[in-house]
Amino acid sequence: MKFFLDSFSLHKEQTDCVIVGVFKPCRLTRSANNLDEYSNGYISQLINQGDINGEIGQSLLLYDVPNIIAKRLLLIGCGDENNFNSRSIIKITKNIIKILNKRSIKHIIFSLTELNFYKNNIYWFIRKIISALKKEFFKINTFLKKDVYLNSISFNIIDKNLISLAKVALTHSLAIDLGLTAAKKLSNLPPNICNPLYLSLQAEKLSKKYNNIDVTTIDINQMKSLGMHAYLAVSRGSENKPYMSVVQYSGKNVINKKIIILIGKGLTFDSGGISIKPSQNMHEMKYDMCGAAAVYGTLIMAAELNLPLNIIGILAGCENMPGGSAFRPGDILTTMSGKTVEVLNTDAEGRLVLCDVLKYIERFSPDIVIDVATLTGACVVALGNDVTGLFSNNEDLVNDLKKASQQTNDKVWRLPLFKEYEKDINSNVADFSNVGNGKAGAITAACFLSQFTKKYHWAHLDIAGTAWESGVNKGSTGRPVELLSQFLLNMSHYTQC
């Protein structure tokens, strides 16, 4: 798919289809008005006849419009002009793609960029529309198993001065989409293919593709010498050895000296171990590596855009299986930090893997650490499938993540880490137990992690409810690649808003 940005004389362009908008009630956009004049009122006549009034979801495909060179003209209902937002863009995009893909339309000129969106900001209009288009194409390819005929989209930017800003938005959008798609594809692989070794090999490939990325792989022996006994315990029941990838992205002309670390839970399969899960839906635990995949995707975005930052991504690959050498409920583990943990449930394995990673990364003296994990079923109970749980020990980091979340509509909601929760993970035989008392499970899990993150600003994203969708169109959502990408773009002072 090719994208172009230019100022077009709409009536003169040779293309398969020109797309212009109509607002409710019966109000032509600037581009529509322009074509109406060239066609001697052809469009307004159709509106007066009642063929379209601008309601969102409406459309009218026209052929042989007088004095218009394009093969077709698509009028698209855009709804209420004063209420035009990113949800309107998504609805309009779905509608347009449905109409276009029924016909073998290859090239279109999209003249909706003058719509009143986010204070008329062309940057955000382009970002939102490309994100919506790419998501539609992904659905057509993967769920409908169909090809997309469309192969080139030109955006009409009426004000020539805005073309360069629109180009920045296009570059950002395409890099984010590349990362998002890579994350989805990796997460969707079956667990017999995507095991910890496979995950680490994907990470190593990044260093071959991008010269601003270096990768170190920590294997089981190195984990032993580092004393990562909680991480190692989780992997003990599996034939597949654990691998932890350390992906170092070093930007040029770094403007923000902060060391940012992104950690992804990479359980390529979580059976629950000896505390085995019920078999219904157990297959979905192949998605227990979606945190690692999101970190992988976000690094691809950073490397593509050459962000002026220093980022370290950790993919914590591991498999949780029952077996003769598996760890058990009752075991007491000594974590890399020296703190001990009483295992009361081997299915609460994510926090065991992560607590050793959170200690390991102290060696990089990080300023900001964000971990991304499908950590608790309790988070799904608390927030459902549309909102990611956010926990943090730093207000500025929370505000920055919330801002990026609002910009991308990749929703998060903060849950508390009050001291009161700490008693829930008390143990009388170790420093902590690995589970709480069954209440506030998302918080007690985060509270457990927070015991290992005191040396830096830290946020934890529990993506258990948001990382994938179930059912006939099952698959990874790639979340929170968009949120993390926006967070990094903001740190690079790149965003135009």
Question: Is 236 a known active-site residue?
Answer: no
Tokens 């093969």 appear where? 71
Helix (H) or strand (E) holding 247: strand 243-250
Q: Which of 136, 177, 270, 400 binds Mg ion (CB under 5 A)?
A: 270
CB-CB neighbours of 253 under 10 Å: 6
Does 270 show up as a binding residue in the annotation? yes
Q: Which residues pair with 61 in a beta bridge?
A: 74
Q: Which residues pair with 72 in a beta bridge?
A: 63
- In a 10 Å sphere around its CB, with 0-12 CB exposed, 13-18 middle and 19+ buried, how is residue 171 labelled? middle
Does 265 show up as a binding residue in the annotation? yes
Applying CB under 5 A, the span of 29-37, 266-274, 324-332, 466-474 interacting with Mg ion comes to: 266-274
**Count of residues engaged in binding ligand BES, rule: CB under 6 A:** 16
Query: In this structure, what DSSP letter does residue 246 have?
Result: E
Residues 314-353 that bind Mg ion (CB under 5 A): 347, 349
Does 424 show up as a binding residue in the annotation? no
In 345-447, DSSP assigns E strands to 368-373, 388-392, 412-414, 432-433
Smallest separation, CB 336 to Mg ion (Å) = 20
319 contact, one of Mg ion, ligand BES, Zn ion, none, CB 5-8 Å limit per kind: none
Question: Is 277 a known active-site residue?
Answer: yes
Residues 167, 277, 402, 411: which is the catalytic one?
A: 277
SS3 of 345, please? coil
**Count of residues engaged in binding Mg ion, rule: CB under 5 A:** 3
Compute the distance between CA of residue 259 and CA of residue 253 in angstroms, rounded to an integer: 14
308 contact, one of Zn ion, Mg ion, ligand BES, none, CB 5-8 Å limit per kind: none
By C-beta, is 347 or 424 nearer to Zn ion?
347
Taking CB under 5 A as the rule, does residue 410 contact Mg ion?
no
Secondary-structure breakdown of the chain: helix, strand, coil percentages, each rounded to the nearest 5: 40, 20, 35
Tokens 């190195």 appear where? 222
Residues 128, 236, 286, 351: which is the catalytic one?
A: 351
Does 349 show up as a binding residue in the annotation? yes
Applying CB under 6 A, the span of 44-52, 183-191, 330-338, 370-378 interacting with ligand BES comes to: 370-378
Residue 485 identity:
S
96 contact, one of Zn ion, Mg ion, ligand BES, none, CB 5-8 Å limit per kind: none
By C-beta, is 31 or 346 nearer to Zn ion?
346
Smallest separation, CB 464 to ligand BES (Å) = 4
**CA 417, 421, 426 angle in degrees (round to 5)?**
130
Does 431 show up as a binding residue in the annotation? no
Taking CB under 6 A as the rule, does residue 337 contact ligand BES?
no
Smallest separation, CB 329 to ligand BES (Å) = 10
**Which residue from 394, 413, 391 is spatially nearest to 402, judged by alpha carbons?**
413
In 17-176, DSSP assigns E strands to 17-24, 27-28, 59-63, 72-80, 107-110, 152-156
CB 23 within 8 A of CB 80: yes
By C-beta, is 125 or 452 nearer to ligand BES?
452
Residue partners of 38: CB distance under 8 A and separation at least 6: 11, 67, 68
Taking CB under 6 A as the rule, does residue 347 contact ligand BES?
yes
Q: Which of 270, 356, 424, 482 binds ligand BES (CB under 6 A)?
A: 270
342 contact, one of ligand BES, Mg ion, Zn ion, none, CB 5-8 Å limit per kind: none
Residues 73-132 that bind ligand BES (CB under 6 A): none
Smallest separation, CB 325 to ligand BES (Å) = 20
The CA-based diameter of the chain, rounded to the nearest angstrom, is: 85
Compute the distance between CA of residue 118 and CA of residue 98 in angstroms, rounded to an integer: 26
Taking CB under 5 A as the rule, does residue 304 contact Mg ion?
no
Spell out, one character per residue from 383 to 422, where the chain touches ligand BES: x when CB under 6 A holds, - when not.
Answer: ----------------------------------------
Residues 454-483 that bind ligand BES (CB under 6 A): 464
CB 479 within 8 A of CB 466: yes
Ordered DSSP codes for 10-51: GGG---SEEEEEEEETTEE-HHHHHHHHHTTTHHHHHHHHTS
Residue nearest to ligand BES (CB): 377
Q: Which residues bind Mg ion (CB under 5 A)?
A: 270, 347, 349
Known binding-site residue numbers for Mn(2+): 265, 270, 288, 347, 349
**Residues annotated within a binding site:** 265, 270, 288, 347, 349
| Catalytic residue list | 277, 351
Please give the residue ranges that form the binding site for ligand BES (CB under 6 A). 270, 288, 345, 347-350, 374-378, 380, 435, 441, 464
